[in-house]
Amino acid sequence: MEAKERQPETLGVLLIDFNPVVREGLQAILTKDAGIEVMGDVPDGYEALQHIKRASDRGRPVNVVLTETRNGVVDGVQATRLIKDEFPEIAVLVLTENLNDSYVIDAIHAGAGGYIFLKDMSPEVLTQSIHRVVEGSAQMTTILLRTAVENLIQNGRKTLAERTAEAAHLTEREVAVLGLMGNGDSNKIIAAALGITLDNTKKHVRNIIDKLQARSRTHAAIIAAQSGIAGKPIDGTISVVEAQSEPGLVACGSG
């Protein structure tokens, strides 16, 4: 039977190698959202690429990939990198059971656009995160954001001084935009706050990500927090805007 035509606003979601219990739970949640179509479950990142290509050829593109940090032959970090390298427009959400999981931090660098703590995940948080991440948003707990920044420093990837020096290469306008990005403001809010058009705001966001060599908007927001452009520099406290949908979640949005 021919597949039912997807409505333009419906998001295609692909799952990568979740255990049967988690997979069934995710599918039960997602199928209740009329704006989401579950497009299947694949065993690893390589299979995900093939599935994404076939779906695109059929005119039913995958918009979001859900993956765990560790799964199959290709773990969540590798899967994220593979997908983002070939399909940068696809958003990847990583589900984790451990807030201190180093794989989650590595997934930031691989280009993942959001992180959800499985133990605290509600149906509303999952579906809202999927819709928001497609708009360029990122959701992660304040604890995970703090852990991510501290790990970036401890692992020696970039010192605070180096990140601040990088930020100095941004234009004054880009610094202002980055500060609002790091505080969790959407592109629409940023445009209104700075008195610029939405298109110009999106261009500034792209330029910022390129100049900071960030893999994603989430990564750029972390750099903003680390350098002190958004809220306070890392000193044990990060000033963030909490999403109204769920206490403890940071929304680095663009919608």
Residue 144, burial from CB neighbour count under 10 angstroms (0-12, 13-18, 19+): buried
Cα separation, 15 vs 38, whole angstroms: 8
Place of tokens 């032959």: 73
For 93, phi then psi, to 5°, come to: -110, 130
CB atoms within 10 A of CB 153: 14
Cα separation, 102 vs 86, whole angstroms: 24
Residue 204: its pLDDT value, please?
A: 92
CA distances from 101 to 2, 48, 68 (A): 42, 23, 11
Q: What is the pLDDT of residues 155-167, one digit of tens each?
A: 555 555 455 545 5
> Are residues 117 and 90 in contact, defined by beta-carbon separation less than 8 angstroms?
no
CATH of domain 148-241: 3.40.50.2300
Residue 35: its pLDDT value, please?
A: 94
Residue 18: its pLDDT value, please?
A: 76
CA 218 to chain centre: 6
For 116, phi then psi, to 5°, come to: -130, 130
Q: Where are the domains of the chain?
A: 11-134, 148-241
CA 134 to chain centre: 9
Residue 222: its pLDDT value, please?
A: 77
CATH topology of domain 11-134: Rossmann fold (3.40.50)
For 2, phi then psi, to 5°, come to: -70, 140
List the Cα angle 65/102/168 in 5-degree steps.
85
Residue 158: its pLDDT value, please?
A: 54
CB atoms within 10 A of CB 197: 10
How far from each other are the two terminal CA atoms of the chain, in whole angstroms? 36
Low-confidence ranges of the chain (pLDDT < 70): 1-8, 70-74, 99-102, 136-168, 226-228, 230-255
Residue 251: its pLDDT value, please?
A: 35
Residue 200: its pLDDT value, please?
A: 93
Q: Judge whether 11-134 and 148-241 match in fold.
A: yes
Residue 128: its pLDDT value, please?
A: 87
